[in-house]
Amino acid sequence: MFVHIGDRKAISDTKLVAILNCDTVAKSPGMNAILLQNIKDEDKTMAVCIDSIVTTKVSSYTVIKRYGQINDAVWSKKL
């Protein structure tokens, strides 16, 4: 199955490792230095795959809801 992450981009769920909120990643610059290299100012979501990192302007919660149709998906939202 493919997950549409926005900006006409889709990734295979077999290669998907994580869907991350770019603002959250930016809060820990020391630990996430490699991931921060791929973020542009307008990006909101980062999809980390086995062989690549794909960013998009679509909210991470929207992408996770699209992916939520799969039973083993895990996500959290601070209330």
pLDDT, tens only, 36-79: 888 888 999 999 999 999 999 998 888 877 766 555 555 555 54
Residue 76 forms part of a structural domain = no
What are 65's two structure tokens? 């809801």
Is 79 inside a domain boundary? Answer: no
Q: Which residue range forms the structural domain that includes residue 14?
A: 2-67
Residue 75 lies in a domain: no
The answer to whether position 78 is within a domain reads no
If you write DSSP's letter for every residue of 30-41 in order, what string do you get? TTTHHHHTT--T
The HSE-up count of residue 13 (CA atoms within 13 Å, CB side) is 14
Q: What predicted TM-score, i.e. pTM, was given to this entire model?
A: 0.75
Q: If you average pLDDT over residues 15-38, what whole number do you get?
A: 87
- Residue 50 counted as domain residue: yes
Counting the structural domains of the chain, the total is 1
